[in-house]
Structure 1
């Protein structure tokens, strides 16, 4: 890790950071509405984004510090399941192609702003709506925290934060970046990350393409890189055989073995099912102006999956380049600092930091919308005006970011990907109410609430019980656990806790629905009708797409 600040890298980094900051504040004037004092305008950008803007915005949800920092870090550290993020994004797009257009249609017909709005309208259940809103807010915080970890990693490698410095020197740069993000999000709403996403994606594409072409020429080609990685991992496993056998260290490898295949598969499937349950993903989708915009994006977004695979391989490149860091999250920033000229390293640092700011802004807006629509207006102030809602969301967007800082400080971040996977355990428990609700009203509202509670509590308890390797007294150290349900041991093979919790959730929901329906317990009034799920721009109460997009 560098001990002195490189002036050229810092200058380039600050240049791009200042550019996107100015863009963030100017975004309030972009496609300017009469006022931003409504959630439709502040929180959903006027619901008018077309295919081009939506591609960058939805991509901004997916291409985060998770992809630039966390995924390569798992490969650098020799995780046997570290490559799961690539098949997960491949599985993802057919899923969203099928169900998200239905959510868009019913939401635009009824002016729903959040997934919890839909749940209340579909099931006539305030408790179930509250459960979905609470889960969305909670699950978003560790995801935002992951973005802050990404920014912190860049600042640490640049020598202007982290390390063993005092509190002021260590955390002040991160807090400044946090404050700037909070300010332009408050000012411009969803328009800010939508506009900044153009710069972010251009930088990311540039950095990745240059890296995957240039680095192999310096490291003996990809064959040489893979050979170096395999030799490094084999040497580590041999030297630490006793510690690995005792559970004090994790073995390293490039591919899953027999004991980790279920973890690999369940992480891929569970993450794919969970991603568009997150409120920020739904927010990006609902900001579009036409139903088919979503399907076109589902067809175009796999281009990001290709780049994700290349990005993940940079973790192996860092091993081959001899990058030595105790915290795996620093591996990729350190690789760019070590292998590239200062000016290009500055570009890479800016790409990583901006790649964290864009999704962090969208996430905080989405979580704030949940608070405003499904807690504040639903339970505290039912007569709130559009301006009151916008004001509440702006303020709540600040508190959500503060909550994310708590996750950064309270949970182990040596493997920041665990922060996102922890949120996945929670958010996946809303899938039955949201996704199944788009197709059927068979499930009883009380059964869905009971299923959510069982899945949420069980998943949280099991995740809490997982220690970090080598630290038996720690908690939330791994998102996977041996397959065991309420003391009934099924397999030693580890499975993503979110998937097991979802199976329990569905089982409880089905059994409780059968019991409640047989007892004729009131099911509530469904505000939607079948035609709502096929509504499009130009239909009654559906906003048209802007011609310019």
Structure 2
């Protein structure tokens, strides 16, 4: 029998009231900082008018998702110290962002670009390469949206169990998610990135409150971290205390590959391009490592749970009912539900729940922009209003496609998100290197991109995971595929130069460097 939690009717009331406020902010976004939402840059980039702290909150909501506060603690709990890779990954990725996003922002403002693929198209004078970069971004983003739903399911499952609601957990989850996504789709259609920004500020406030209170109150309730560490079964102590030498390369490569991939995801680029100026984007990005502190504390929930026997028992008892992976995802919600007051649990659970909804909205906006600008418009030009209308509808389609995927293939979203990282990293030569040079040949870049994606996906299925065995240890497949991508691009470009090819770009270097 699953132990009784601290969840009660007060928890439910707090959850529903805060969710109603979240929905109100989403719809109110259409009236906030009014703009002509029939224009794609107004709907999808909030008119490029977000200041330092709004971009900081938006990017925090954008990048610190269910992966951060559900998947990482669950993986640390289940696998061990390898998943502390997220700590250096966060540190490195913002260095990459500082080197790339201000440049991309500048040229995008100068040339009116909405997406990274817009830039690639002009930089390398290639519609085909831009089409491929857009397709890679869309395919990689869908499992990331699915992962947000996995996090939302964890919050709902804990709430349902705590309230003792009779019936199928899966059915109740699915109905609740459909209702939540219908609300999300409605206000995203109405408000675009403005609604996502307001709800992102609200979501981040709840998550920060949850992290700060939990990391102080839970150790006090269980008599310190020492109590949690001393409660770890002896056969598992080693996986938490040290990183085995055979996993050092896996740890390093996973951190590096993930850092390269993060700001190639359409949602990260979309958030960056919404800034009002390059200077304010730099300041916002420089403040984002503060979120890394929160990530460290959230990861520690994978250890703290050992000091909460009832939470451990609940996960163990639920594993046969909802599956081992879904049960492990309850690490954070269960630890909170068995230690903190009922009213605060409501705040925490709604924070986790909308912590999946807000990034899902931003991700859907980003890939609908790509779909319209770089796929549909390459086939049939659209009017300005036609662009925004189609993007609004496609954002809803992409959300429900990801929702349907999770219902049809439960338990695989987190694994496929790592595959998404392998895929999206292959856009690095076209986007990141393109910001520094136009002297790469377009067909070579396309061949490299195809080789990288094909080898990455092939290795993923061959090894049944995200690591490839090498003489120096296990290496994240994203780096192996990217290395092949760069080799193909480099050799192809060298051959092109040898046969008389010379670069022709519609984007001059000064248009990338110009201050605004």
Displacement of 1:357: 1.3
Corresponding position of 2:301 = 314
* Contact kept in structure 1, 2:39 and 2:385, CA below 8 Å: yes
Displacement of 1:75: 1.3
Name the SS of the counterpart of 2:114 in structure 1: coil
Aligned: 1:534 with 2:501: no
CA distance in 2, matches of 1:419, 1:176: 25
Corresponding position of 1:233 = 236
Q: 1:307 to 1:281 in 2, by over 3 A?
A: same
Q: In structure 2, which of residues 382, 395, 398 is the aligned counterpart of residue 397 of structure 1?
A: 395
1:440-451 matches, within 5 Å, as: 440-451=437-448
CA distance in 1, matches of 2:409, 2:91: 30
CA distance in 2, matches of 1:229, 1:424: 32
Displacement of 1:174: 1.3
1:483-498 matches, within 5 Å, as: 483=470, 490-491=471-472, 493-498=473-478
Q: What does the per-residue CA deviation read over 1:228-283, in whole Å, with 9 as the maximum and x for residues that have no partner? A: 2363614xx9xxxxxxxxxxxxxx44432111111111111111111100111111
Aligned: 1:305 with 2:292: yes
* Aligned residues between the structures: 499
1:235-254 matches, within 5 Å, as: 252-254=239-241
Name the SS of the counterpart of 2:300 in structure 1: helix
Q: 1:344 to 1:61 in 2, by over 3 A?
A: same
Aligned: 1:7 with 2:17: no
Provide the TM-score with structure 1 as the length reference. Answer: 0.87
Corresponding position of 2:168 = 165
Corresponding position of 1:475 = none
Aligned: 1:357 with 2:357: yes
Corresponding position of 1:428 = 425
Corresponding position of 1:455 = 452
Corresponding position of 2:386 = 388
* Contact kept in structure 2, 1:163 and 1:170, CA below 8 Å: no
Q: In structure 2, which of residues 262, 271, 277 is the aligned counterpart of residue 284 of structure 1?
A: 271
1:10-29 matches, within 5 Å, as: 10-29=12-31
1:505-544 matches, within 5 Å, as: 505-521=485-501, 523=503, 525-537=504-516
Name the SS of the counterpart of 1:143 in structure 2: helix
Name the SS of the counterpart of 1:28 in structure 2: coil
Aligned: 1:295 with 2:282: yes
Could you tell me which runs of 5 or more consecutive residues in structure 2 were left unpaired when the two chains were aligned. Answer: 320-326
Displacement of 1:373: 0.3
Aligned: 1:480 with 2:481: no
Name the SS of the counterpart of 2:38 in structure 1: coil
Name the SS of the counterpart of 1:69 in structure 2: helix
Q: In structure 1, which of residues 420, 435, 439 is the aligned counterpart of residue 436 of structure 2?
A: 439
Could you tell me which runs of 5 or more consecutive residues in structure 1 were left unpaired when the two chains were aligned. Answer: 238-251, 468-477, 484-489, 538-549
Displacement of 1:332: 1.1
Q: What does the per-residue CA deviation read over 1:399-436, in whole Å, with 9 as the maximum and x for residues that have no partner? A: 2112312442455527x543332211110000010000
Displacement of 1:38: 1.0
CA distance in 2, matches of 1:140, 1:309: 25
CA distance in 2, matches of 1:125, 1:511: 19
Corresponding position of 1:465 = 462
CA distance in 2, matches of 1:141, 1:267: 20
Displacement of 1:162: 11
* Contact kept in structure 2, 1:156 and 1:162, CA below 8 Å: no
Q: 1:465 to 1:403 in 2, by over 3 A?
A: farther
Corresponding position of 2:332 = 332
Provide the TM-score with structure 2 as the length reference. Answer: 0.92
* Contact kept in structure 1, 2:153 and 2:173, CA below 8 Å: no
1:12-411 matches, within 5 Å, as: 12-33=14-35, 35-159=36-160, 165=168, 168-229=171-232, 231=234, 233-234=236-237, 252-322=239-309, 323-324=311-312, 325=315, 326=319, 327-379=327-379, 381-382=380-381, 384-411=382-409
Q: 1:107 to 1:200 in 2, by over 3 A?
A: same
* Contact kept in structure 1, 2:218 and 2:340, CA below 8 Å: no
Q: What does the per-residue CA deviation read over 1:346-399, in whole Å, with 9 as the maximum and x for residues that have no partner? A: 1110111111111111100000000000011122x22x1110000110111012
Q: CA RMSD in A?
A: 2.1
Displacement of 1:54: 0.7
* Contact kept in structure 1, 2:174 and 2:407, CA below 8 Å: no
Q: 1:465 to 1:401 in 2, by over 3 A?
A: farther
CA distance in 1, matches of 2:160, 2:133: 41
Q: In structure 2, which of residues 408, 411, 414 is the aligned counterpart of residue 413 of structure 1?
A: 411
Q: 1:264 to 1:166 in 2, by over 3 A?
A: closer
Q: 1:466 to 1:346 in 2, by over 3 A?
A: farther
CA distance in 1, matches of 2:4, 2:449: 49
* Contact kept in structure 1, 2:228 and 2:305, CA below 8 Å: no
Corresponding position of 2:323 = none
Name the SS of the counterpart of 1:207 in structure 2: helix
CA distance in 2, matches of 1:441, 1:110: 16
CA distance in 2, matches of 1:102, 1:456: 26
Q: 1:230 to 1:298 in 2, by over 3 A?
A: farther
Q: 1:385 to 1:22 in 2, by over 3 A?
A: same
Higher helix share: 2
* Contact kept in structure 2, 1:76 and 1:319, CA below 8 Å: no
Q: What does the per-residue CA deviation read over 1:458-511, in whole Å, with 9 as the maximum and x for residues that have no partner? A: 1112222344xxxxxxxxxx322323xxxxxx45x2211111111111111111
* Contact kept in structure 1, 2:229 and 2:306, CA below 8 Å: no
CA distance in 1, matches of 2:409, 2:250: 22
CA distance in 2, matches of 1:402, 1:522: 45
Q: 1:366 to 1:358 in 2, by over 3 A?
A: same
Q: What does the per-residue CA deviation read over 1:431-460, in whole Å, with 9 as the maximum and x for residues that have no partner? A: 010000000112111111011101101111
* Contact kept in structure 2, 1:185 and 1:192, CA below 8 Å: yes
